[in-house]
Structure formats: structure tokens, C-alpha cells
Amino acid sequence: MADSSGRVLGIGGLFFRARDPDALTAWYRDKLGVGAGCASGEEDPSEWYWQAQGGETVFAPFRHDTDYFAADKEFMINLRVAGLDALVARLEMQGIAAERRAEWDDPSTGRFARIHDPEGNAIELWEPAT
């Protein structure tokens, strides 16, 4: 039976422009395990979508003049992760620079690192506080 409550259940997708969509799709899949054909847990992957693990999602417009991410970008992707240190170490071994700042981390919120995809889009890696 269909849910007729008329409510939003979560984000159904993130769509953005890319100069080379196929290459960027492969980069996200291979480096971060994100995108069609990926699964974040024990579930079987689907060729059409990423089976993400449920949890906290922040949805927050920023002021147009924010300096939290690059002024020439309209968005920043934030990915919730487990094992931030291990993920950053693996990415750095693959030549992907990660920025860490003590002021980004907060015991009540969690820890953060920032990387960029091959097209310069900022990706914030967030390990929520436990």
C-alpha cells in the first residue's frame, strides 16, 4: 500500500553539470564508492542508483557571499562517512589532497575534511560525532 501522507522522505538525487560526466561518474564511483552501482552497507548494489545508508542529512542554503566554499561554485557536496582518518589516508595514497582544519571539527558536530573532484567541486567529508 502506498504512503499517502504527503511528506518528503529524503533527498532522491543530486544532479549537476559536468564537462565530462562519464569520467566524473567513474571518479566518484572508484574513489568514494558513490553513485549508481554502489552500496554503503550489506545491500546489493543497483545499476541505477547508489544505496546510501540512512542517517543525518543537512540541507542548508548558505549566504551568496559565503567564504565556506569557492565563490565560483553554487554548491558543495557533503558526504557523511565512517572512519574519516582511514578514508583520508586512502584518498591521499591515490593522490587526492585532503584539507583538514582544527576549527572545522567540533565535539558536538563531528570531524571534517575537504577534497575536490577532478572538476574542482568541493566535497566535504563529515564524520558525525558519536
Q: Residue 95 pLDDT > 70, yes or no?
A: yes
Confidence of residue 36 (pLDDT cuts 50, 70, 90): confident
Residue 46 is predicted with a pLDDT of: 82
Domains belonging to the chain, first-starting first, are: 21-128 (3.10.180.10)
pLDDT at residue 67 is higher than 70: yes
pLDDT of residue 6: 86
pTM: 0.87
pLDDT digits (tens, 9 = 90+) for 101-130: 999 999 999 999 999 999 999 999 999 998
Q: For residue range 53-64, list pLDDT tens digits in order.
A: 888 888 999 999
Sheet holding 110-116, edge to edge: 77-80, 122-128, 110-116
> What pLDDT, on the 0 to 100 scale, is given for residue 1?
58
Mean pLDDT of 18-27: 95
For 90-97, the CB contacts below 8 A with 24+ separation are 91/31, 91/115, 94/31, 96/31
What's the pLDDT score for residue 30?
94
* C-alpha cell read off for 80: 557523511
Report pLDDT for 2: 66
Do residues 69 and 76 make contact, with C-beta atoms less than 8 angstroms apart?
Answer: yes
To the nearest whole number, what is the mean pLDDT of the chain?
Answer: 91
